[in-house]
Structure 1
């Protein structure tokens, strides 16, 4: 068993965090429970570590793991792919033979090619990918789409997934190439359309701030892109990836979107994606 298990994630509204942390902690506890009966040297005990790279400052330095590590790496799905704003950073995360588990979390529409893309990134950077998973979390745009997920049913799947990972690590040391769902070359990013069916530039849409804002600065502190002006939180000074951390975590509910294209896209997703989608595991 590896000596260090790391939960590594980007998670604006905490759904990816919950899944990745759940896998890592469950695996750590399972390994410790079993190994306590087998090991007498406490220096050999499993350790749990966490690397939250949601905020900009956490993505400023490269990270390197080794063969003594197992890394569960999780990102949200944006437009069916790994968020392009994370690609530069993810390519500075080096595996050097560490075991890796890519995890993507999507809002009940589809994860398209995000999982195979994240798997490729990890392998290209020296990780040995042994398992992978696509999970569902409450959609960043909506409080209705996949509401409250990951829920108890999802976390039960996390526990089952963890058991599979542990068994694989202790019975199979060859780790042949893992097959996951997705296409290569990757499909283009999913494109939002207006009511007339015409594509529009979703990237330019930014949140507004209502008069209920108390200027607590929490939105500026939580923005994963560092794009909310700390001196004037109503000003957006950088890219907005629509993670909605500022919207969902504002204690005064002062952040909102009013763009017609955004609202139409949100409504279409809520109407078209009501059927509950379940996690998909690859091991």
Structure 2
């Protein structure tokens, strides 16, 4: 049996959450990076005996559209799936049900799901350093319950919260730009999940293609990409009330 970790994690928080689950499951690990626009997703195929941990961040209460598109190319072939949604301590809203529908559409059987908190990708002061040690203990314990369910051959579906139809997707978010510290090294362009940054001139960004995932900010070795400080201040103020209290993981099995 193989354990496929199928992850869309531009800034690393979602991958960290999924790792606590996938690492505790018994099987040969296989990584599938949904942020890699050069990966041949149609060649990724599973069997009924395999298990997939499918993890995405919540962007405004929805699954990133590009993650849905790429997951749809994967051939689940009846493999069991554990769904993971990571969000920045505000709310995940319809992310899990949308991911459930996408996973089933790709041929997976959903047996468990979790929503967990990870550092907010834009306003990083919210949920800073999460998932933390407390989260790790909870997620590892949940993974043991999932393993028991797998061992018992229980393929029952969990009840996952959310709305259908999903909430309306948000508009264009904040687009990071190069600062004066930029050395044109191209690390951001290479890592961009949607190819929105010009590889010949990293200072040029296709604003319509950008999904505001902040991967370019996270990978820049010179800390030379940033969002508009006025917009960042406004977002911080808007999120301050919703994100002030610590939220905990929600587990569905």
Asked if TM exceeds 0.5, the reply is: yes
1:182 and 2:152 correspond: no
Say which is worse superposed, 7-16 or 174-183, in terms of deviation: 174-183
Which of residues 237, 241, 245 is equivalent to 2:215? 245
Which of residues 241, 252, 269 is equivalent to 2:239? 269
Distance in 1 separating the partners of 2:87 and 2:181: 30
Aligned pairs for 1:1-283 (under 5 A) are: 3-28=1-26, 46-58=27-39, 60-171=41-152, 173-189=153-169, 191=170, 201-203=171-173, 205-237=174-206, 239-258=209-228, 260-283=230-253
Structure showing greater radius of gyration is 1
Cα shift at 1:63: 2.2
Cα shift at 1:150: 1.1
Equivalent position SS for 1:27: coil
Cα shift at 1:76: 0.8
Q: Residue deviations 1:127-161, cap 9 Å, x none? A: 11111111111011022010011111111112111
Q: Retained in 1: the 8 A contact 2:117–2:249?
A: yes
Distance 1:10 1:139, change over 3 A: same
Cα shift at 1:280: 0.5
Cα shift at 1:82: 0.8
Q: Retained in 2: the 8 A contact 1:18–1:150?
A: yes
Distance 1:6 1:176, change over 3 A: same
Q: Retained in 2: the 8 A contact 1:90–1:121?
A: yes
Q: TM-score, normalised by structure 2?
A: 0.92
Distance 1:59 1:19, change over 3 A: farther
Query: Runs of 5+ in structure 2 lacking a partner?
Result: none
Structure with the bigger percentage of helix: 1
Distance in 2 separating the partners of 1:53 and 1:177: 24
Distance 1:60 1:159, change over 3 A: closer
Cα shift at 1:262: 4.9
Equivalent position SS for 1:132: strand
Q: Retained in 1: the 8 A contact 2:34–2:67?
A: no
Q: Retained in 1: the 8 A contact 2:82–2:111?
A: yes
| Number of matched pairs | 252
Cα shift at 1:282: 0.3
Query: Runs of 5+ in structure 1 lacking a partner?
Result: 29-45, 192-200
Equivalent position SS for 1:94: coil
Aligned to 1:41: none
Q: Retained in 2: the 8 A contact 1:98–1:126?
A: yes
Distance in 2 separating the partners of 1:86 and 1:121: 9
Q: TM-score, normalised by structure 1?
A: 0.83
Q: Retained in 1: the 8 A contact 2:41–2:73?
A: no
Q: Retained in 2: the 8 A contact 1:257–1:263?
A: no
Distance in 2 separating the partners of 1:266 and 1:250: 22
